[in-house]
Amino acid sequence: MEGLKLALKLAQIITTSQLREALNWDTIKGQIGILTSEAAIATFLAAVQSQVVALSYQDNSTGVKVATNALGFAGVLLDVIAAFLALVSSTILQRHVAIIDKQLNSIEDASGDQIKGVVDHLDQYFRASRIHKVFADWFPVPQDFTRRLRVKLQQRMRVLLTLKKEDGDTETLKLGGPEESVDLNIDLIPESFRHIQSAAFIGDAAGTAMLLGILCFFASVQCLAVSTQPLGVWIVSAAICSLVIILPVGNRLLGVLGIRLPTVFDI
């Protein structure tokens, strides 16, 4: 039976795909909100950093003051770059996640002809990826997405087989006909995953720029304190800045002893 052969081929494809390491589809979708938050935080940091620059940009009389201004401007630029890259990455993810979700939903209206085309398309890819592993980067399909695709295909196959049984024909799947989905285009899925992979690199760059911007912020504030304040003030300022490292490490060590420092979330 054609339906049985198609089901066996589908099972073989899914088994092969589960052996490959891949990202989690829900994690990919969750990155949209994370990147949007990152862009908002970077924008806030740029605004704060601008205030530091406004206090010192007119005075370059000493090396420390020059360092204050250089680090201040660098921090503002890095924070703006981080916000821009995070928004670009988030926008790309939103668009192509929506495209892939639409393709998954389109399977519910697919004809037997289209189901067979989807299975054949995936079969060709996985056969090629076993021979040339470089193809795994071309089509980085998450495992949980593959499982969802399998469920969608199997559910639609059951519906089509049920329809054929009602018509008294169990030998073939229904091909073409009025039940064909006009939105289904399997070629859009690998194309969208390539864009998602590119968005991941952009998002990583945004995170790196944001980290460098924060470091520039702390360094510029410290330089400003050194150049304008007495010894006691900038020593206290340096000690406070060091809490960025001390507090996380301290919480980790205290956690071993079952002790937890109070936080604002306890209020």
What pLDDT does residue 137 have? 46
- Residue range of the domain that includes 243: 229-267
What pLDDT does residue 14 have? 43
Would residue 223 count as lying in a domain?
no
Do 246 and 133 fall into the same domain? no
Overall domain count for the chain: 2
What pLDDT does residue 143 have? 63
Please, how many CA atoms are within 13 Å of residue 172, restricted to the half-sphere of its CB? 5
Per-residue tokens: 7 = 């089901």
Would residue 209 count as lying in a domain?
yes
Would residue 183 count as lying in a domain?
yes
Cβ 256 vs Cβ 264: under 8 Å: no
Would residue 198 count as lying in a domain?
yes
Would residue 222 count as lying in a domain?
no
pLDDT tens-place values along the chain, 267 residues long: 444 444 444 444 443 443 333 457 777 888 888 899 999 999 999 999 898 888 888 888 888 889 999 999 999 999 999 999 999 999 999 998 888 888 777 777 776 777 777 777 666 655 555 444 444 444 456 666 667 777 777 777 777 777 766 665 545 444 444 456 666 777 677 778 788 888 888 999 999 999 999 999 999 988 888 888 888 888 888 888 888 888 888 888 888 888 887 877 776
Do 133 and 239 fall into the same domain? no
Do 233 and 202 fall into the same domain? no
What pLDDT does residue 169 have? 53
What pLDDT does residue 174 have? 46
What pLDDT does residue 164 have? 67
Name the pTM for this structure. Answer: 0.71
Would residue 150 count as lying in a domain?
yes
Per-residue tokens: 75 = 């921090």
Do 87 and 122 fall into the same domain? yes
CATH code for the domain of 74: 1.20.1260
Would residue 221 count as lying in a domain?
no
